[in-house]
A and B are shown apart, each in its own frame.
Chain A
Amino acid sequence: MEITVKKDSGITVVCPNGRIDTSTAKNFEEGIMKLIPDNQQIIISFSDTSYISSAGLRVILVAGKKIASMNGQLALADMSDKIYEVFKMSGFDKILKIYPTFEDAKSSFGK
């Protein structure tokens, strides 16, 4: 798994590529946690993510809590049906902001 990070209208966009499982979650965690001190408006786009396990959800939960504690905003977007199902099954759809597309996530910022 690789993580691409880019900026779009002042928002930090994180794209994890491939599988987020136990063997790659640590890499994902380091990648996202080191961004947070300087970037508190983050969109994670799952358009290139093929799979996420509980290890990946754990990282998103930890990041979500950290961003919330700094009064930042985290939005998730571009999930495949299966990945969305994983978030729904875990109840994370109730505690995190999930949008169908990147544009939807982007327009939610500042509101």
Chain B
Amino acid sequence: MLLNVKNDIREIDRVFTCIKEFCSTNGISEKKCFDILMIIDELATNIISYAFDDGQEHTFTVMVEKEKDMVHVRLSDAGIPFDPLNRIEPDTDASLESRKVGGLGIFFAKQLSQFISYERVGNKNQLDILVSLKEEE
């Protein structure tokens, strides 16, 4: 499935609907679907918020494919070069007072995926993510 998504936060709603449909068509459990939705939501939100700084409308793509016991997600945008995986991870042991608010989205995407990589391909940022469909106990 290939979705063309505009850099508008209201698009997230449509992305949710399409991904849920993809999961149900492919017999993916609700729990795994939650993980896939979260990974795509966090990464797509990042693209919508930061990839384009000219105030114009842009479109990026979200591809989702089922491959045996994996789901392959690819996000591709022609925004400013940015490797989101290169960020400092949040300190999940910090106290309430000192806990910082940023960096969690990428951290979640990493935690929930089996594999995640960033590559600048031509003028595009490309993120490839593999999510295992095996249910952990």
* Residues of A participating in the B interface, judged by any CB pair closer than 8 Å: 19, 21-23, 51, 53-55, 57-58, 61-62, 64-65, 68, 81-82, 86, 89-91, 94-96
B38 contacts A19, C-beta separation under 8 Å: no
Interface of chain A, main secondary structure: helix
- Measured between beta carbons, the chain A residues less than 8 angstroms from B49 are 22
| Chain B: number of interface residues, binned into ranges | 20 to 34
- CB closest residue in chain A, given B91: A91
Q: Which of B13, B34, B95, B108 contacts A23 (CB 8 A)?
A: B13
B42 contacts A91, C-beta separation under 8 Å: no
B95 contacts A95, C-beta separation under 8 Å: yes
Given known A-B contacts A19-B16, A82-B34, A90 and B105 have beta carbons under 8 A apart: no
Complex formed: what's the CA distance from A96 to B10 in Å? 30
Complex formed: what's the CA distance from A111 to B95 in Å? 21
A54 contacts B42, C-beta separation under 8 Å: yes
Complex formed: what's the CA distance from A54 to B92 in Å? 13
Given known A-B contacts A22-B12, A23-B13, A89 and B99 have beta carbons under 8 A apart: no
B104 contacts A58, C-beta separation under 8 Å: yes
A65 contacts B97, C-beta separation under 8 Å: yes
A91 contacts B31, C-beta separation under 8 Å: no
